[in-house]
Structure 1
Amino acid sequence: MNKIRLIILIFVSSMQLSSQDLRLCMGSSHDFGVPPVLNSKYFWTVSDTSIATITSLNTSEQIVVCLNDIGFFNIIVEEMDVNGCVGYDSLLVEVISVPSPNIIAIGPTDFCEDEEVLLRVDSIYPLMVWLSNGDTISIINEIIVDTTGSFYINVTDTNGCSASSLPVNILQHPKPDVDFFLEGVCENMPAAFFDQSTIFLDEINSRKWHLGDGTIAYGDTVGNIYTHSGSYMIKLIVSSDFGCTDSLSRIINIYDQPNADFSYSPYTISTLKPEVNFVNNSYNAMPILWSFGDGNFSFLDNPYHIYEDPGLYDVMLTVSDTNNCIDSITKQIIMYYDFVFYMPNSFTPNNDGYNETLSPVAMRMEKYQSYEFIIYDRWGGIVFQTNDINESWDGKDVKVGEYGWSILIKDELGKIRKETGSVTLLR
C-alpha cells in the first residue's frame, strides 16, 4: 500500500500553500502533516467525506486519511499558536481509481498430469508480478501453469496504483501409477492377471487389458488361456474417475506344457497278483503326484502299488517342469477276480490235533456276499449245515464213512457259485 506524506508549511498570521497538488490511489490510507510548532494547536478537515475520511485524531500536527472513492477533495489544516493567532492551509487531492486485474484461464483449470493451462492477465500494466503461495514466479503478462496451486497477479498502473487479482485455483490430477502381475505362464493353462495400479487424490474406475493374442478384457483381475507358447505383449490401460489415463506394456513368456506319460507292469493283474509297478515316462518333467484310483497316492518317481479289490481303476499321473507348468495323464487298470476254492477229500476227527475238522479253503472268503455249507449222509439226510465261513464240521456223533457236501456261494462280484463233492471221515 502506497503512503505519501504531504507537508503543509504554516507561519504565524500568514499561510503558505504547497506548490503541488496530489494524485493518490483509491483504497489506500495516507499520512498528512505539518512541521510542529511549540504550543500550537491544529484542526484538520476534508471537504468531501464521501471521498476521504480522517481516521486518526485530527487535533495534532499529523493525521491519517483513508481514500474511499474517486474524485477531488481539499484537505484543510487550521493552526492556532500560543498567542491565539490562526493560520490556514489546504491542499487539493485527486483520488484516482486503482487497476482491476482479471486473470483469464485459456483452458480448464483442472487437468491431468503432463497437461498445462495458460493464465493471462486481461490488460498490460507497467509492472506485473505473478505469485503463487507467496512466491514470485514471473513478471510478464501470462504464465503457463502445470502444477497445483493458487495463482494471482499484482499489477501497478501508469499512475503508480497497485492492486491484486482474485486468485485462480489450479488442480492438477495425477495419472494412475500402472502396475500388474501375472500368475500362470504355461501353455493351455489358466493365466491370471492382477492389477496393482495406484493413484493419489482420485479413484481408479477403468481397466482395459490387451492380452497379446487378440483378447481384450476389463476389470481388476482377468484371465486367459494361451494355446501356444511364445512371447506376448500385455498392455494395461488404467483411467481415473477424473479421466486421467496411463498405461503399462510388458512382455510375458508362455512356456510349453510338459508331456506326462507312464507305463505299468504287469499289464494284467488279479486278486492273486495285485501288485503293479509304475514307471514315469514323462519328458523333462518330474512327478508331483500319483493317484491310483482307489484313494491312495504316491509322490515317488516310480512307485509300486497293491490293489485290494477287483475292479476298474483310473490311474492319474501329474507332472511339473522347471517353469512350474503342469500336465497330467490318466490310464485305466483292470484288476480281475480269481476264484480259488479247495475242499479236502478226507479228515480224521480223532482228537490227535491234526485234521480234526472239515471246511473249504478259499481266498477272500470274507468278501463273499452269502455262503452255505451242507454235509449229507448217504441217504441224503443233512448232518451239518452253516452259513458262517468260520464254522467247520467236526464229524462228531456220526460214523466213519463217506459223506457228500455242497457249498453255495455268492462271491464278492455277486456271482452265484455252487461246488459239490464227497469226503471220507476216518478215525
Structure 2
Amino acid sequence: ETKPLTIYPVGGSFPYEYYWNGALSGPTISVTPSQNTTYTAYIKDSHGCQSQTVSTTVSIHPPMQLTASANTDSICPSEPVLISFTASQGAGAPYVVTGSDGNIISSPYLYYPPYSTSYVVTATDVCNQTAIVEIPLFVYPLPPNAFLPDSVYGCQPFTVHFNEISPDFGQTYVWDFGDNTNLSLAKNPTHTYQSPGVFDVTLTVTSVDGCKTVNVVDSLITVNPTPNALFTYDPSIVSVLKPLVSFNNLSTYGYEYIWSFGTGDSSSLQNPVYRFPDVGIYPIGLIVITEYGCRDTAYASIMVRDEVTFYAPTAFSPDNDGTNDIFYVSGHGIDPATFYLAIYDRFGQIIWETNKWDPHNPEMYGWDGKHKSKNIVPIGTYTWICTFNDFRGGLYEKAGTVTVIW
C-alpha cells in the first residue's frame, strides 16, 4: 500500500529545498514500505540555511487473517450448514464479514445450500484490507421415491402388492400402509388389509448418504366391508309330509342374495320359502353380495326324512264297472322289496296274496276280489294282513277287514 509523506517549512527564505533520506526531493513523497521503515527529512532555504532533521516511522500492519469452516461439508437437500469464522490481525477490529450474497454475517452463521457450491466468506478491516475463504459444500441428491399398487379397490380382507419402481442404488424403505398395523422394510411388499376403510399409504426412502424422501398418497386404498352370510330355517326337522321350509336370512351388509337348494332350483328373495320334492339330503347355499360386489357364502345341509304312511279301504266292489274294482293299500315310506299282503276268509284260510307293490301305482298289484281259483268271492267281510319294512329297516305289521260289496 502506498502512503504520502509531507514536510512543511516554518521560517527561512523561499524557495526551499526538500531532502528525504538525504536526497533532494519534493515536499511530499509516496512510500510503499514492505516493513516498518523510518524516513528522515530536512529543508534548506534560499540562503542555504538548513533546518533540523526530523524523522517519522511508517508501521506496516500484518496481513489480514481469516479462518472459516463448516460443521460438515456434505449434506442432504434442505439441511443447514453451520459456518464459523474468525478474523484477526490486519489493521485490527472492527471487521466487516460478508457471505456469498454480500450480506453481512456473524459467526456462527446458519446457511441452507440450495445445491453443491462454495460458500465465500470475506473479512474487511478498517484499512479495507480483505481476506477471503471459500468453503466447498456438497449437497447429496435425494433418493427417488415412486410406487404403484396392483389394485386400489377391493373387499376385506384385501391383499395389495406394492411395487417401488425406482432404480435400486442401495436405498432402504419404510412403508406405512395407513391401517395402524406393522410397517414393512421391503422394496416391494405385499400387505393385507383386514378392516374396511380408506387408507393413506406412505413410503419413506433413505439413500446410502442418509437423505430421505417421503411420498404420501392420500386415500389410495379403499377396502369395502365383506358381508357375513348367515341363515336359519324352519322347521328344523323336515319330512316328506312337511317338505315346506321357510328360510330366515340373518346376513349383514347384504344387497343381493342367491339361494341354491340342492335341486337345481334357486331364488333371489331375501327370505324364501321352498318345498323340497323328495326324500334326501340337500346342500343349501346362500351367496350374499354387497352393493360394492363383495361376497360371502353360507352353507347348510337339510335332510328331508321319509315318514311311513299306510291306508287301506274298508270296502270295494269287484264288479268291473270301472269304479272301486280293486282292493289295494297305499302309503309312503314303504320298501317295496319287503312288501307282503294276504287276504283271509272267515275260516282263516289265505284266499289271495302278493309280494308286489308299486309306490307309484299301488293299484297295479291289488286284489281284484277273486279267489285263488280265479272265481269271484261271495259278498262278505274278509280279513287282510300286510307286512313291510320302511327304508331304515323298521318292520311294520298292519291288519284289518275289507267288505266285498256289489
TM range (shorter): 0.3 to 0.5
TM-score under structure 2 length normalisation: 0.48
Larger Rg: 2
Give the TM-score normalised by the residue count of structure 1: 0.46
